[in-house]
A and B are shown apart, each in its own frame.
Chain A
Amino acid sequence: DAGVTQSPTHLIKTRGQHVTLRCSPISGHKSVSWYQQVLGQGPQFIFQYYEKEERGRGNFPDRFSARQFPNYSSELNVNALLLGDSALYLCASSLGQKVNYGYTFGSGTRLTVV
C-alpha cells in the first residue's frame, strides 16, 4: 500500500514568489495535517483538514493557506516567500481527526528560498 505521498520532493524558489505543495493521504484517511520543520528543530503544526474543513491552525502568518479536496488530497500554499520559509514541509494523514488514528507522515518537500 502507498504511504503518504508528497510532491515535489525538492523545490527552490525566490523571495516574494508563491509556492504550492501537494499531499496525497493514505487510502481511506480523511485527515491531512501540515507541519513545517526548520533544520535542526522539531516539526511545527501549521494546519489540519478533516472532511475538507479546516479543523486546526498553528501560529503561522496569513501567507500560509491550505485546502483539502473531495478525494482528501491537500495543498499547502505559501505567498510572498521569505528566506525564513526555507524548511522541510511535512504532511501527515490519519483515519480520523485525532492523532491516535494511524497518524502517518510523508517524506516531505524540501523548500529552499533564495
Chain B
Amino acid sequence: GESVGLHLPTLSVQEGDNSIINCAYSNSASDYFIWYKQESGKGPQFIIDIRSNMDKRQGQRVTVLLNKTVKHLSLQIAATQPGDSAVYFCAETAAGNKLTFGGGTRVLVKP
C-alpha cells in the first residue's frame, strides 16, 4: 500500500564509498520506475529511470537495477560525495499518469 512510517531508514556511508539503496514495490503491473533525490526544502529531483523491459540502466555515477521477479529496485551511487546527502525515493507507475512513491531512504555521507 501507500502508507509508510514516520521514521526514514538511514544509510550512513563514508565519502568515496559506493552506496546501495533498495526499494520494494507491490504493483506487478508497474512498467516504469524512477529514482528521485530530495534535499531539505526542495522538491524531488529526477536521478534516473528504467522501464520494465530493462534490468539495468546506468547514468553518471548512478546505476539502477530492476528485478521484476521479486519486485525489487535498487539504486547504486558510485564514489559517494557529500553532495549526495539527501532523501532518496523510488517511484513507480502502471497507469502512466501518476507516480506511487516508496517510503524513502536518508543517505548521510560522512567525510
Contact = CB atoms under 8 A, between A and B. Distances in A.
Interface residues of B, number: 29
A50 B96 CA distance: 13
A22 to B, nearest CB: 15
Contacts, number: 71
Contact of A90 (B43, B46, B49, B104): B43
B4 A42 contact: yes
A103 B42 CA distance: 16
B49 A100 contact: yes
B41 A107 contact: yes
A: interface residue count bin: 20 to 34
A54 to B, nearest CB: 11
Contacts of B44: 43, 90, 105
A91 to B, nearest CB: 8
A103 B46 contact: yes
Interface string B78-111: 0000000000010101011111111110000000
Chain B interface main SS type = loop
B93 A99 contact: yes
Contacts of B103: 41-42
B4, B46, B93, B97 interface centre (most CB from chain A within 10 Å): B97
A41 B95 contact: no
A88 to B, nearest CB: 8
B59 interface: no
A55 B34 CA distance: 21
B100 to A, nearest CB: 7
Interface of B: 2, 4-8, 32, 34, 36, 41-46, 49, 89, 91, 93, 95-104
Interface of A: 4, 31, 33, 35, 39-45, 48, 50, 55-56, 58, 90, 97-100, 103-108
23 contacts: A33-B98, A39-B6, A40-B6, A40-B104, A41-B103, A42-B2, A42-B91, A42-B101, A42-B103, A43-B101, A48-B97, A48-B98, A50-B97, A56-B95, A90-B44, A97-B96, A98-B96, A99-B97, A104-B46, A105-B45, A106-B43, A107-B43, A108-B42
